[in-house]
Amino acid sequence: MSRAKEDAVKRTTDAIKKSTGSEKKSTKERLVQWFRDLRSELKKVVWPTKEQTIKNTIIALAVTFASAIVLWGFDWIAGRGVDALIKLVG
């Protein structure tokens, strides 16, 4: 293997080696770090405006209502079909 390849493999494997255990943090330190990371990530979020939220809510409710109507229709048709079969057999 060439020298450049060996160096690349060494750098790659060094990056994924497990920690030795001497770097362990306390639960409190890890929790504090988690909240810091959470806060920094939340600053990156692009929050929707009030108008966008209202519009998206209306769309979600309309789709839910339309789906309910379609499912009710299929259920009604299936019920009529079962009733017809029962009358036919009975």
Q: Is residue 84 part of a domain?
A: yes
Q: How many domains does the chain divide into? A: 1
Q: Is residue 7 part of a domain?
A: no
In a domain, 68, yes or no: yes
Q: Is there a domain that residue 86 lies in? A: yes
**27 has a pLDDT exceeding 80:** yes
Residue type, 59: I
CA-CA distance, 32 to 26, in Å (whole number)? 10
- Residue 66 in tokens: 């339309």
pLDDT at 49: 97
Q: How many CA atoms lie within 13 A of 34 on its CB side?
A: 7
In a domain, 22, yes or no: no
Per-residue pLDDT tens over the stretch 40-85: 999 999 999 999 999 999 999 999 999 999 999 999 999 999 999 9
The parent domain of residue 85 ranges over: 48-90
